[in-house]
Amino acid sequence: MFKVILLVVLSLICVGVIFSFEINDLPAGSSIAGIILGFSLPGCWNSIQDLSDTTNWKTSQRQLLRGGIIKKDTIVRISFAYLYRIKVGNQYLLVKNARGTGKFQPVGGVYKLHRNERVELKNRYHVIDDSKVPIDESSRDDYRLQMPCRYLRRFVKRFDSNAANRERIDNVSREFVEELDGIIAWNKLKYRYCGRHITALKYSDHFQCYEVLLADIVELLPTSEQRADLEGLINHESNLYRFATAEEIKGLGIVPGTDKLEECIADHSAKILQENEQYLIHEPHTGECFEVMIR
């Protein structure tokens, strides 16, 4: 805001100087003021645009476009998901990735498209299927898509405004049931919506494209019986799940000074940590609690 005010004032001064020198037939002065105005006006316009960039991903998108690094028709990838924070004592419950990475990650998954939503997205935003992750029965309707960069802002706005037409935050029990099937058998869930983590638009070395990753974080609020079930899991070894401390999650499972030097925890797991909640974006319903029947 200070930069905008400064540039606006500078531009107005330059305009005044130009008129003054032209009236007094002093072309040299007006030429100098005109040169300064040629720099201040574009800077003023850019700064006004920057005021609308309220999140890192919007800022990064505009910087990439201004720098000519990407164009409006550059295809970008999006993956919109929700993740569970399930904490018992000082440890977090993680499950084995189902796609064979061998790493553990938070319970959760990608939002699902509903009914004919894919047709609407193709018509309005020219979305195409994401080929970076194999499409099968479990991933067919995932909110994992690609689209031209020019539609990205409108797409994200639509994602929030049309939440009623897709899987939404007031019932994200599907992945919980699927990923903990056979491990936990509960008939209801209660959780709190903590906020949203969304990355900057950046190049992915893994997928060789520009992408934005969105994750809504929810915190499980177990009953006393459910907490007892979770505590019981800690004492049973399994290749399907594990418990990890915040330090282990930050270190991706690597234990310095030992022979455990293989990354066994996915890097996005840190998004669920309690200490990182302060950095989450506050969306509508942030802080609200939801109770869902699942059996």
pLDDT in single tens digits along all 295 residues of the chain: 666 566 566 666 666 666 676 666 656 656 666 666 565 656 555 655 565 666 889 989 989 998 999 999 999 999 999 999 999 999 999 999 887 788 999 999 999 988 788 899 999 999 999 988 877 766 788 999 999 999 999 999 999 887 767 888 999 999 999 999 889 989 999 999 999 999 999 999 989 999 999 999 999 999 999 999 999 999 887 899 999 999 999 999 988 877 777 889 999 999 999 999 999 999 989 999 999 998 7
The reply to whether 269 and 184 lie within a common domain is yes
Does residue 265 sit in the same domain as residue 216?
yes
Instruction: Please give the residue range of the domain that contains residue 105.
Output: 69-112+169-293
Look at residue 128 and tell me if it is in a domain.
no
Q: What confidence score (pLDDT) does residue 281 get?
A: 94
Q: Domain containing 102 — which CATH number?
A: 3.90.79.10
On whether both 186 and 264 belong to a single domain, the answer is yes
pLDDT at 285: 92
Q: How far apart are CA 107 and CA 91, in angstroms?
A: 14
Burial of 65 (0-12, 13-18, 19+ CB in 10 A): middle
Residues 41 and 77 grouped into a single domain: no
Residues 47 and 173 in one domain: no
In a domain, 60, yes or no: no
- Is 146 a domain residue? no
Query: Could you tell me if 40 and 173 lie in one domain?
Result: no
Q: Is residue 158 part of a domain?
A: no
Tell me what pLDDT residue 75 has: 96
Cα 200 from chain centroid (whole Å): 8
pLDDT at 98: 80
Pair 293, 176: CB distance under 8 Å:
no
Same domain, 39 and 178: no
Domain shared by 14 and 97, yes or no = no
Number of structural domains in the chain: 2
Contact 294, 187 (CB under 8 A): yes
Condensed to tens digits (0 to 9), the pLDDT of residues 41-98 reads 565 556 555 656 668 899 899 899 989 999 999 999 999 999 999 999 999 999 998 8
Model pTM above 0.85: no
Domain assignment present for 190: yes
**Res 38: pLDDT:** 63
Whether 63 maps to a domain, the answer reads: no
The answer to whether residues 218 and 83 touch, using CB atoms and an 8 Å cutoff, is yes
Is 88:167 a contact under the CB 8 Å cutoff?
no
Query: Do residues 182 and 217 both lie within one domain?
Result: yes
95 and 235 co-located in one domain: yes
Asked if 78 and 22 sit in the same domain, the reply is: no
Please check whether residues 98 and 231 belong to one and the same domain: yes
Confirm whether 161 is domain-assigned: no
- What's residue 1's pLDDT? 65
| Residue 215 domain flag | yes
Closest CA to 219 of 192, 201, 257: 192
Burial category of 42 from C-beta neighbours within 10 Å (exposed 0-12, middle 13-18, buried 19 and up):
exposed
